[in-house]
Structure 1
Amino acid sequence: MDIFATIQEMRPQFSPSEQRIADILQTQLEFAVGASISDLAERAEVSPPTVTRFCRRLGCQSFADFRVRLAKTAYVGVRYLNPEAKSTEPADVAEDVITKAQNALYMAHRSLEPEMLDRIADRIARAEMVYAFGSGGSSSMVASELQNRLFRLGTRVVACSDHDMQLMLTAAARTNDVLIGSSFSGRNESLVRCFNLAREAGISAIALTRADSPVAQAAEMAITIDLPEGDNIFRPTSSRFAYLAIVDVIASLVAYRNRRISTVTLRQIKQQLIEHRDGTDNSQIMGD
């Protein structure tokens, strides 16, 4: 149970005394987490029985139960209770988002290891099959983008975001295949399991993830991405721009290694687009 979501939903029904307790919880969370029932009652200028009734109204069995649930909710972070004030003017929002994206690309560029990129691109270029794994909103997008970038170069590739299917695909993979997995947190236990299974079978496992994370440690090769996101909980993560840029770098290196087959496959795809979409306009991008 998210206590603060319940408080927000029930607030119109609260008495003045309950409103004061709710205000303390939302503005003085650190105090509230460690306060006794007497401390909280005194600060809210109510009686201890009023605090007990308030706790039960929120669905807690007692004040002790309330404190446990409050601590769990507080662990998420104060910034999700009282978000940092930001300008909502369109120009300011645009500057915040785009500047952070530029910073993410710049920092990722500076941290890249050319030798690691070379090893990864070489292994993918020689793979019979590439399995791109990622779960969750951002990593599943990265897996799909790996498929989108590599198939047009003549690479046999499939993307998967389902944990069970990832495990089955890994079990069915062969030694000349490659697993490449994305995890922004580095804590995807299912991906770690797949990587461990792959390495036991002699299959290359490549990670795009945080440094020194369980996913990075389970991989044979890793491109690590550690970028600060700031405290604005409403701005989408900027790290995904870095991940997508790295996918493009890997795809370009694979294309150069497999130049002959990449050229043929790209030409065949372009031919179909010209015949069925673009006509004589050869300036259009390859795919929508």
Structure 2
Amino acid sequence: MESIKRPLDIVSKIKAVQHELRDSERKVAHVILGDLGFAGKASINELAARAGVSEASISRFAKRVGCKNVRELKTALVSSFAIGERFIEGFNDSSDDTAIGQVAHGIFQAVKVVRDQTCAETVKSVAQAIDTCRRLVVFGGGGGGTVASADVEYRLFRLGIDVRVFHDTTMQRMIASTLNENDVVLIVSTTGEIPEINENALVAKQYGATLVSITRGDSSLARESDLHLHVHIDEPEGIFRPTASRYAILAVIDAIALTLANLRTEVSRELIRRIKYNLDDHRGTDKRFPVGD
């Protein structure tokens, strides 16, 4: 079997072997990790001069960290710096608010933005498509998409919708192959650029299923969708703050659920009454308890 070629995470590689390096190689590592931008742009003699070592030491260092030569080392350095500069050099989050204050502020802003982004007519169209479909399947992946896609099932089963959620991409592909023009596939994705999920969406569309997405409007997934709800939240630069975009996605899901409930009032009311009745019988009666928990 042909081996899979993956890009080298040069920063992790250097850190992993740093304690095993010779003195001259350790000096090179110190310079590179201290200024990744410089190291990626510098010539071999400039790098050697700053580290106080010979050019031969730079070549030996490159091979020591898994590169064929200095050119490959520099390519890996440029790639690592471009992808994760703020994660390597750190980011100073100047906010003096408390942790709960920062998180709450992010949620408020995300929900405010998505309120302006979301087209009410498209929400209604999505709800109508789900209301009349034979079954609804939901695909999600990654951090935000996995959590949010699961919430679709929690919100819609109580409205009498035959809904199933799938996170394993192989299973998604299998399920997509069983769909037809009577079905709806809903994709929840923060970026809309997960290759496996996008491919599975196209499999479902190939067999006639209506493709609905909640994702960025400029994404590959959005362009292929029959119905698309735009969600794009500019996340703050702080690398430790949880992403607020998932709250925006949840707000859109709730809007679909509310619209759908109003489209099928009688069914929704009776099913929710049954759930409330049996939950209260189990946990005690309080009309303010949620229909869930």
What residue is the counterpart of 2:131 in the other structure? 125
Deviations 1:112-149 (A, max 9, x none): 11111111111112222111111112111111100010
C-alpha RMSD of the superposition:
2.1
Instruction: Kindly provide the amino acid, as one letter, of the partner of residue 54 in structure 1.
Output: F
Classify 1:201/1:7 alpha carbon distance in 2 versus 1 (closer, same or farther; 3 Å): closer
Classify 1:245/1:173 alpha carbon distance in 2 versus 1 (closer, same or farther; 3 Å): same
Instruction: Kindly provide the amino acid, as one letter, of the partner of residue 242 in structure 2.
Output: P
What residue is the counterpart of 1:174 in the other structure? 180
The whole-number CA distance in structure 1 between the counterparts of 2:165 and 2:74 is 44
Deviations 1:183-233 (A, max 9, x none): 111112233333333333332110001112110011101001121113222
Aligned to 1:46, which of 40, 53, 65? 53
- The answer to whether structure 1 residue 5 and structure 2 residue 43 are counterparts is no
Aligned to 2:88, which of 81, 85, 103? 81
1:199–1:220 Cα contact (<8 Å) kept: no
The whole-number CA distance in structure 2 between the counterparts of 1:280 and 1:230 is 43
Determine helix, strand or coil for the equivalent of 1:59.
coil
What residue is the counterpart of 2:211 in the other structure? 205
Aligned to 1:284, which of 275, 282, 289? 289
What residue is the counterpart of 1:72 in the other structure? 79
Aligned to 1:21, which of 17, 28, 36? 28
Determine helix, strand or coil for the equivalent of 1:268.
helix
Aligned residues between the structures: 286
What residue is the counterpart of 1:250 in the other structure? 256
Aligned pairs for 1:266-285 (under 5 A) are 266-276=272-282, 278-285=283-290
Determine helix, strand or coil for the equivalent of 2:86.
helix
Deviations 1:75-125 (A, max 9, x none): 322112112112597x43333222111111101101111111111111112
What residue is the counterpart of 1:157 in the other structure? 163
What percentage of residue pairs aligned between the two structures are identical?
Answer: 30
Shift of 1:9: 3.4
What residue is the counterpart of 1:215 in the other structure? 221
Shift of 1:12: 4.4
What residue is the counterpart of 2:3 in the other structure? none
What residue is the counterpart of 1:35 in the other structure? 42
Shift of 1:15: 5.7
Shift of 1:286: 2.3
Question: Hey, which bits of structure 1, 4+ residues long, moved more than 6 A?
Answer: none
2:134–2:162 Cα contact (<8 Å) kept: yes
The whole-number CA distance in structure 1 between the counterparts of 2:37 and 2:194 is 30
- The answer to whether structure 1 residue 140 and structure 2 residue 146 are counterparts is yes
2:37–2:78 Cα contact (<8 Å) kept: no
TM-score by length of 2: 0.89
Instruction: Kindly provide the amino acid, as one letter, of the partner of residue 203 in structure 1.
Output: A
The whole-number CA distance in structure 2 between the counterparts of 1:76 and 1:7 is 17
Classify 1:225/1:58 alpha carbon distance in 2 versus 1 (closer, same or farther; 3 Å): same
Deviations 1:38-64 (A, max 9, x none): 110012222112222322332334323
TM-score by length of 1: 0.91
The whole-number CA distance in structure 1 between the counterparts of 2:118 and 2:195 is 25
Classify 1:11/1:88 alpha carbon distance in 2 versus 1 (closer, same or farther; 3 Å): farther
Instruction: Kindly provide the amino acid, as one letter, of the partner of residue 286 in structure 2.
Output: D
Aligned to 2:121, which of 115, 132, 137? 115
2:24–2:53 Cα contact (<8 Å) kept: yes
